[in-house]
A = this chain, B = another copy of it.
């Protein structure tokens, strides 16, 4: 049961699951979030979309493959993966850089809902940013409003 029809507020909750085959990727999840919004039948309110993992991001930017390549190169410059031993966190794992990349790109997006739609500018799209993939991970979509 995703929709909880409260006395004063309607709320909706759904998890989106991913299993990215590579270490890093950017995936446009706007259609999935729009689907959640339609299912919720909420017309006015807020959508929260957040990574439930601490080595992944949810962010809003452009759906342009050149830019995604640039982001990947840039994040690797600001928070390099190798050498893994430069990070104290990397004892038995090698994902310290992913925890940093996620801070730059952010954990969550909050989006206004107006007349039943994501209230977006022309180029806004919601992305799942994976920085330590090759396993199942998830994103939470929570909508409150009426």
Contacts and interface: CB of A to CB of B under 8 A. Distances in A.
A54 B60 contact: yes
A54 B8 CA distance: 34
A81 interface: no
A65 B91 CA distance: 12
A144 B96 CA distance: 34
A13 B61 contact: no
Given A88-B69, A108-B110, A123 B53 contact: yes
A109 B109 contact: no
Contacts of A91: 66
B9 A112 contact: no
- For chain A, the bracket of interface size reads 35 or more
Contact of A112 (B13, B70, B119, B138): B13
Interface in A110-126: 110-112, 114, 119-124
A57 to B, nearest CB: 9
Given A104-B104, A108-B109, A110-B110, A79 B88 contact: no
Contacts of A53: 121, 123-124
Nearest to A123: B54
A31 interface: no
